[in-house]
Amino acid sequence: MNYDEKNTEGLENLLHSKLQGFAPEAPESIWQAGIEPQIRARRQRRKLIFWWWGFTGAVGLVAVAILFFLGKREKNLPEKIHETMPVAAVAVPSDFEKLGEISNPSKQKTSADFSKSHFKKPENSSDHEKTHRSKLIFKNENQQEKSNLNSNFEEKSDLKFEKKSDQRTLETILENQNLTRRTDVPTNISDEKFGSPLVEKLPLIFLKNVILEKKTPCFSPIPTHFAEKTTQKIKQPAQFWATAEAGLVAPMPHDIHQTVHGGMTFTEKSTVPATGFQTGFSLQFQPRERWRFGIGLLRQATRQTTSHIATLRLMDGVCLNPYDPGVKHYEFQYTLISDGDPAKVNLRLSQQDPNIKMPDDEPFILDMKTTRRNTDWLVPITAQRFFGSARRWQFFLKSGATLRFSQKTAIRVDHFTEACVDLCFQNGLTPTVTTQNIRQFSMGYLVGAGAEWTVSPRFRVSFHPNLNGYFSKTNGRSHPSARQFGLNTGLSFQL
Amino acid sequence: MKVKSDKSEIKSSLHEMPDAALAAACCRGESEAEHRLWAMHKNRMYGVCLRFAASKQEAQDILQEGFLRVFGSVCKFRGEGSLEGWVRKIMVRTALEHLQKRQAMPHLLDLDALENLLPDPQNLDDLDDPISAGKLVELLQKLPPGFRAVLNLYILEEQSHEQIARELGISIGTSKSQLHRAKIFFKKLLDKTLLLVF
């Protein structure tokens, strides 16, 4: 190398003087076709994300509110039953005598038919019970009633408790002197009518609840069949389901919407119908017996055999080794559109004979057969309506919205034929194709119908074919981008 | 009439807008302001991109990507420096990332192969000024990406070797040697071009 430092003197000055203010006219098409639409799309995407989160947040709040309401309602149920139950029906001695036989206290509801004159010290209290004693002092608005009460009911009564916690609660409340008496309690029920002292037969936890108007489920003297009749009218409590899903998908061919992405764009044709597989899970909320709402996450992988014809010129590509006197390698970049989904492709070709130089502007055609694999993430938001049942089967209709995020596209060249006039490319050398992922977001709809088989009260298996359609937005315009038919199987577990 | 006058007022106010206000308007998503920012800086930035890129097409790609980044992060501009300097910084970084993606930075080059790089004399239409800015950029584009990056950063972006080393992820020594080799390469390319012309 004969060049030294001196030869480069002045080079810096030359470049400075010539290039410092270098500002050639930039083509306006970059703004119109490239930047502005993308800025708009980005802004709309942000808006969409904002609304999406707003919507899901609102749905979440509503769900929490519903749950809270339902929970509260369940707690209120005993009180309501008490209000609706006829007193006379409750005060049947034979029924009271069966109190000890009540096996499932959680199903029993509170009633309040008792007289304070029935409160007595238990006769057969064991040594253990005697240690758990408390003082009862009743406040009464009516002095007359109070005097009657005092005559029949000792101020200091020994009461037995099944649980220590009950005793503590009662003691605390009694200390605060906040006891109230129910005013709707009939006073004409006497010991004689019952045949035996009522109080002795009432579990004290029931007394506590009735006296203090506690709104918690407790033991009750209501006959079982009364309580059941009332509870039959209560709606099924909200349920949560977790479902694991898997199924086949088949993208359906449709009219390809030619989108403009700038640069070279070619269209793929599907030669073998595309197929795929999807797996995922969903969480479902069932506020009513016949309605179920769900949100899920599915990963979908599809495979499609396609072909496309690319008409290229050397000048459209970039020579990767311009200084290499040997075989030249070229890279071309173009966009492939298949069923509306674009994929950016980098295609590499190699020259066969370095001595034959093909003109840069001479077009040549490559006919390629490729395998395209797409990986997408789906977020289905669905509403499910059950409308009939037969034995263990329940049938439903399903619809909703689906959000789709295209994650990855991989294209492999299976076969190619080149129609280059000079046969300047190596025969049998398959071009290598790499793809740049175009992360695309699309929204769509979902409709389907299916059947659910009850394996056990907590496990269900469902089969549901469905149809998905998606819409993408390009250059500010919405257009249908893909349609898919799916056959899903789900295994649901009640949480 | 009033609407028209309002629009012209907005346009004139955009013209006079200081950098921070223009950036703030862009941050709010005002289309007029965005176009104004583009129109103000597009040519100079295109010049920067052309110097870093290997072709016009690549330069346009870099310009588009760079401006998208500018609009994506315009809310972060706090007006501490000039808006042009900030935009230029983003553009240079975008161009460097673009070059690094290509991963084609040969360090050892046979200078005899320069014959292939020489421009066609028939294409040198501006014979009065054979070393015009456009021609120099064309020659710069003929340089290998590594040389082009170092030459641009050191001479035209006036960055130190430390900064270049940090930007490109190389050592300071490599930066210096690359610059030296790039200068020789470019000078030889320039000399041969001039010989062809005269």
**Residue B59 pLDDT greater than 60, yes or no:** yes
Query: Would you state the structure tokens that stand for residue B193, as one six-digit string?
Result: 């071009």
Q: Is the pLDDT of residue A297 over 70?
A: yes
Res. A273 pLDDT band, cuts 50 70 90: confident
- Are B156 and A20 inside 8 Å of each other by CB? yes
What pLDDT is stored for residue B63 in this prediction? 92
Contacts of A200 (CB under 8 A, 6+ apart): A120, A122, A123
Instruction: Please calculate the CA angle A33-A34-A39 and round it to the nearest 5 degrees.
Output: 115
Residue in A72, A114, A121 with CA at minimum distance from that of residue A220: A114
**Cross-chain CB nearest to B109 (options A20, A43, A323):** A323
Kindly report the nearest CA distance between residue B179 and chain A, in angstroms: 11
Q: Is the pLDDT of residue B56 over 90?
A: no
Chain A residue whose CA is closest to B72: A39
Range name among A230-239, A324-333, B148-157 with the lowest pLDDT average: A230-239
When pLDDT is cut at 50, 70 and 90, the band that residue A104 belongs to is very low
Comparing A122-126, A351-355, A396-400, A468-472, the range with the smallest average pLDDT is A122-126
Q: Does the beta-carbon distance from A15 to B71 stay under 8 Å?
A: no
Distance from A43 to chain B by nearest Cα, in Å? 8
Report the distance separating Cα A174 and Cα A178, nearest Å: 7
Interchain pair A23, B44: CB under 8 A? yes
pTM for this entry: 0.40
Q: B192: pLDDT confidence band, cut at 50, 70 and 90? A: confident
Of A15, A43, A323, Cβ closest to residue B110: A323
Residues of chain A found within 8 Å of residue B151, distances taken between Cβ atoms: 15
Contact A445, A468 (CB under 8 A): yes
Q: What's the pLDDT at A68? A: 74
> DSSP letter string over chain B?
-HHHHHHHHHHHHHHH--HHHHHHHHHTT-HHHHHHHHHHHHHHHHHHHHHHSSSHHHHHHHHHHHHHHHHHSGGG--SSS-HHHHHHHHHHHHHHHHHHHHT---SS--GGGGGGGSPPGGG---TTSTT-HHHHHHHHHHS-HHHHHHHIIIIIS---HHHHHHHHT--HHHHHHHHHHHHHHHHHHHHHHHHHH-
The confidence score (pLDDT) of residue A210 equals 47
- Confidence tier at B128 by pLDDT (50, 70, 90): low
- Contact call for residues A81 and A109 (beta carbons, < 8 A): yes
pLDDT digits (tens, 9 = 90+) for A208-221: 444 444 444 444 45
What's residue B14's pLDDT? Answer: 52
C-alpha span between B92 and A24 (Å, rounded)? 17
Interface of A with B (CB under 8 A): 1, 3, 7-8, 11-12, 14-16, 18-27, 30-31, 34-36, 38-39, 42-43, 318, 320, 322-323, 325
Reduce the DSSP state of residue A342 to 3 states and report it: strand
Determine the pLDDT at residue B177. Answer: 87
Question: If you measure CA to CA, which chain A residue comes closest to B129?
Answer: A18
> Rounded mean pLDDT of chain A?
68
Residue B158 C-alpha, separation from nearest chain A C-alpha, in angstroms? 10
User: ipTM of this model?
Assistant: 0.76
Half-sphere exposure of A56 (CA within 13 A, CB side): 14
Q: List the structure tokens of B63.
A: 């310009």
Residue A480 in tokens = 């249908």
Q: Check whether A427 has a pLDDT greater than 60.
A: no
Residues A57 and A62: their CA atoms lie apart, in Å, by 9
Q: CA nearest A339: which of A240, A413, A446, A259?
A: A259
